Chains A and B, each alone.
Chain A
């Protein structure tokens, strides 16, 4: 059995599809493309697709991933052409950017990803004001976050999971780019926005366009993407440090 890792984007109207809807959609696409997918054993065999971190309904993603297990020797799989083949059988807005074979024993996406880069586009805010709010947030030593878990109120500190924050003007409004950690649990983008505590800038969270631009893993102590689309820009490298 061999495994492929697939990177795709989810942009535009399809952002309103739930994670489960996208998962079923990708499963159908893999079958439409004629890939010799491996199936689980048992009474109710399922296609062996392994999904990475879920993307909330309404958010877009440029760096989404899933792995698929294939049965060897069933059919010739031309990995180079696969991105195009899959994009052709996927709905508008879901596009496969790259497909790479991965070795047995490669950690799963859920395990390996340590942080994500998010970009928030706020239509009617100034990037300077957003930058200032962000600077105040990152200057804090702790950012307590109150959650309800199993019916109990618990407090968590957001600060260790908050990476670099950059605000700059963009085409459709001010853009706020931030790294949010995923270990021990993923910080939700809306949790970051509420921690920013700038209602006069952000207003209704539903009006903010949210895009996941990167997911990051550690390989030999170096931060990199599960599948990189060419050399990472220096801009990203700077923020990573």
Chain B
């Protein structure tokens, strides 16, 4: 029984993916299973492969992809969907699941995008929702049994797989439509669940993976040791799908983190370690943890002697938890870039999206950074958020300019790089009902900011292409009718759409027109509370009522403190699965406004009246604040 774990983008992008490395290791520990890996060949190699009649092959053994029993794809970004189809084809497998024979590999997908796998439903045999550590072995065993019984009927194994919790088999469900909407999604095979629930591992401490992180010989992104310090996040940022679908918070024991870091550095020879999570500064007692690591590496003889400086990077830093203490610890090693994500320019806007950090929190964080020797910090923002006004958009430039002023107290010419991305509403978030801004509107807002940044010395602005944002939005909340669209784009050569030099909006708009579908219906239309969403038969544990209420709270500009340190809002993620937050400390991190409720005037919101039902946002023009 063999798995081919595949990332649908280049080796340089895909190799560091920790999810695939974890699963590949767990499968290798199975007594009757093996695993190898594959990545998307770049355009030139693909052309050579096709010219010579060679298939997609594995990195380790150079085995043809079609010889594996299961191909497991990680789907982390919507724009890789055409690469998924391309790789299935390059493996010599019919791209449509319905046309496959028993001897073909089973095509499995997992990763954050699979919370709405409907756009790729035609191409895949099975979908995994949630943490893969346990379910990968359960799938392996089902396929082993099927092979032992003669590997006769594909439907037989898919029915068995559909009974595994966390596994969704798209072919087992019938979707009917009503204009742009979905009318109903119903099981069409007996014995499959009406709603497929995600999988959640309860204790990250039981899964110290990857034990042997791969060390590539060529340069890749995130080329360093990665140690996941916790999974899940309950900050409750309303735009953030990752934070919603990976609840609850499960921290790795600090001692295990230390061991994984020390052993990992020794084994790999890396001099940089990233402590990964959705918000690493929230890890209990993070200062002490980082303090013991930065700038030091134990010698291999265990003498406690130092081998050389180690730099510690903390991706996803929250500004309200970043102080001089952490900054001082980090700068002991080689200084890596610092990125903060205030996400929105004004406090009002940040209450809407529930990113409850005050302007002062940001200034405090950048002050810590500049005072500890950083010359440039990166700030990440979203635009096109629900209820966003031009005042909110321009607030981004104001915040950035103020950060530079803060830096002037420490440096002659401090720098700020501002990165602006267009907001894409995601399934299983309170914003899943929101109609995304049009390309024109996003372009207008980016233009406003470019004008505002002119003449701000030290500021550099970067932005994400709004046309790519539109296609991400299309695929993020689309239904199965997008399958033929993806296939059309692929047949016309539209691979590597994540890469700006290959992305082509026209391929997508042409394919939509060809199949009689409207970009407006899929991307820009506000959804209503009673609408059957394309992912209604799937569950991330979050109650529909919780998400809708949170959407209403957003529109009422009501912030919601972190449930780790405040009473439960009954979102459903813990209670539904009988799991709990696993944190080492019941006290919120020092400083900052969230969690402590400081700076917040939180009162139970008024849940009656017009604000509870209307969606006070407009399309294509500057949105006004709700009154």
Please list the residues of chain A having a beta carbon within 8 angstroms of any beta carbon in chain B.
Answer: 14, 17-18, 20-21, 24-25, 27-37, 39, 43-47, 74-75, 89, 91
Is B307 touching A34 in the complex (CB atoms < 8 A)? yes
Grouping DSSP codes into helix (H, G, I), strand (E, B) and loop, the B interface class, with mixed when no group exceeds half, is loop
Is B334 touching A44 in the complex (CB atoms < 8 A)? yes
CB distance from A21 to the nearest CB of B (A): 5
Please list the residues of chain B having a beta carbon within 8 angstroms of any beta carbon in chain A.
Answer: 215, 217-219, 265-271, 297, 299-301, 303, 305-309, 334-335, 373
- Complex CA–CA separation, A30 to B271 (angstroms): 11
Is A32 touching B306 in the complex (CB atoms < 8 A)? no
Given known contacts A28-B269, A31-B269, A47-B271, A39 and B309 CB-to-CB distance under 8 angstroms: yes
Residue in A28, A74, A75 whose beta carbon sits within 8 Å of that of B268 in the complex = A28
- B269 partner residues in chain A, CB cutoff 8 A: 27-32, 89
What are 21 A-to-B residue pairs whose CB atoms are below 8 Å? Answer: A14-B217, A18-B218, A21-B218, A24-B219, A25-B217, A27-B269, A28-B269, A29-B269, A31-B269, A31-B270, A31-B271, A34-B266, A34-B300, A34-B301, A37-B307, A44-B334, A45-B308, A45-B309, A45-B334, A75-B301, A91-B217
Is B307 touching A28 in the complex (CB atoms < 8 A)? no
CB distance from B175 to the nearest CB of A (A): 48
- For A74, the closest partner residue in chain B by CB is B305
- Complex CA–CA separation, A146 to B209 (angstroms): 56
- Per CB-CB distance, the 4 closest pairs between chain A and chain B, nearest first, are A28-B269, A34-B300, A32-B269, A31-B269
- A20 partner residues in chain B, CB cutoff 8 A: 219
CB distance from B168 to the nearest CB of A (A): 40
- Complex CA–CA separation, A37 to B266 (angstroms): 14
CB distance from A84 to the nearest CB of B (A): 15
- Complex CA–CA separation, A120 to B12 (angstroms): 32
Is A21 touching B219 in the complex (CB atoms < 8 A)? yes
CB distance from B224 to the nearest CB of A (A): 11
- B266 partner residues in chain A, CB cutoff 8 A: 32, 34
Is A36 touching B305 in the complex (CB atoms < 8 A)? yes
- B215 partner residues in chain A, CB cutoff 8 A: 28
Residue in A34, A43, A47, A89 whose beta carbon sits within 8 Å of that of B299 in the complex = A34
- A37 partner residues in chain B, CB cutoff 8 A: 307-308
- Complex CA–CA separation, A33 to B308 (angstroms): 13
CB distance from A34 to the nearest CB of B (A): 3
Is B267 touching A32 in the complex (CB atoms < 8 A)? yes
- A89 partner residues in chain B, CB cutoff 8 A: 269
- For B267, the closest partner residue in chain A by CB is A32
- For A37, the closest partner residue in chain B by CB is B308
- A34 partner residues in chain B, CB cutoff 8 A: 266, 299-301, 307
- For A85, the closest partner residue in chain B by CB is B300
- Complex CA–CA separation, A91 to B268 (angstroms): 12
- For A45, the closest partner residue in chain B by CB is B309
CB distance from A18 to the nearest CB of B (A): 8
CB distance from B293 to the nearest CB of A (A): 15
- Complex CA–CA separation, A75 to B219 (angstroms): 31
- Complex CA–CA separation, A45 to B307 (angstroms): 13
Additional 9 contacts, C-beta under 8 A, given A17-B217, A27-B269, A74-B299: A25-B217, A28-B268, A28-B269, A31-B269, A31-B270, A43-B335, A45-B308, A45-B334, A75-B301
Is B308 touching A75 in the complex (CB atoms < 8 A)? no
CB distance from B486 to the nearest CB of A (A): 34
- Complex CA–CA separation, A218 to B268 (angstroms): 38
CB distance from A72 to the nearest CB of B (A): 13
- For B223, the closest partner residue in chain A by CB is A24
CB distance from B330 to the nearest CB of A (A): 12
Given known contacts A36-B299, A45-B334, A21 and B309 CB-to-CB distance under 8 angstroms: no
Given known contacts A43-B335, A44-B335, A31 and B217 CB-to-CB distance under 8 angstroms: no
- B299 partner residues in chain A, CB cutoff 8 A: 34, 36, 74-75
- A14 partner residues in chain B, CB cutoff 8 A: 217
CB distance from B138 to the nearest CB of A (A): 35
- Complex CA–CA separation, A69 to B307 (angstroms): 12
CB distance from B335 to the nearest CB of A (A): 6
- A45 partner residues in chain B, CB cutoff 8 A: 308-309, 334
- Complex CA–CA separation, A28 to B269 (angstroms): 4
- Complex CA–CA separation, A89 to B300 (angstroms): 13
- B271 partner residues in chain A, CB cutoff 8 A: 31, 47
- B305 partner residues in chain A, CB cutoff 8 A: 36, 74-75
Q: Which of B266, B300, B307 has the most CB of A within 10 A?
A: B307
- Complex CA–CA separation, A75 to B301 (angstroms): 8
- Complex CA–CA separation, A178 to B266 (angstroms): 42
- A18 partner residues in chain B, CB cutoff 8 A: 218
Is B335 touching A31 in the complex (CB atoms < 8 A)? no
Is A39 touching B308 in the complex (CB atoms < 8 A)? yes
- A29 partner residues in chain B, CB cutoff 8 A: 269
- A46 partner residues in chain B, CB cutoff 8 A: 334
